[in-house]
Amino acid sequence: MKADDLEKRLIDFSVKVINICKIMSEDYISRHLSVQLLRSATSVAANYGEARGAESRKDFVHKLRICLKELNETTIWLKIIEGSNFIEEKDIRILLSESKELQKIIGSSLSTLKQSK
């Protein structure tokens, strides 16, 4: 996958999460969950953009690891929201699937970088 394509996919993922967070109710629990999800999910695209502008290979790897950690966190928040029935299951399943696929892509990139060291 090309870097531009991955960046677009990460941005699209962030936008989908934003749209899900917009429809969550405004009670204390929903607000807490949506803010946590929003922070972790939207930071992935931003950190990937930072990785693309990394000053060194080490900096690039570090920023990619941050992307992976944020995706891991996003997946956990999505699972919590799924279990809490705040959003329709099919909408959460789509986001969970995309989050896991993005984790695999970035994880694979990190493995390739480690092997080529």
Using DSSP, state whether 56 is helix, strand or coil: coil
Please tell me the predicted confidence (pLDDT) of residue 115.
87
Q: What is the rounded distance in angstroms from the CA atom of residue 115 to the CA atom of residue 47?
A: 22
Distance CA 57, CA 98 (A): 27
Length of the chain, in residues: 117
pLDDT at position 86 is 85
**How do the pLDDT tens digits run along the chain, 117 residues long?**
799 999 999 999 999 999 999 999 889 999 999 999 999 999 999 999 999 999 999 999 999 999 999 999 999 999 999 999 888 889 999 999 999 999 999 999 999 988 886
Across the chain, how many H-helices and E-strands are there? 4, 0
pTM reported for the whole predicted model:
0.91
Amino acid 104: pLDDT: 97
Distance CA 70, CA 17 (A): 13
Between CA 32 and CA 38 the distance in angstroms is 10
* pLDDT (0 to 100) of residue 18: 96
Full set of structural domains in the chain with CATH: 3-112 (1.20.1440.60)
Give the pLDDT confidence score for residue 72 in this predicted structure.
97
Tokens in use for 68? 């992976």
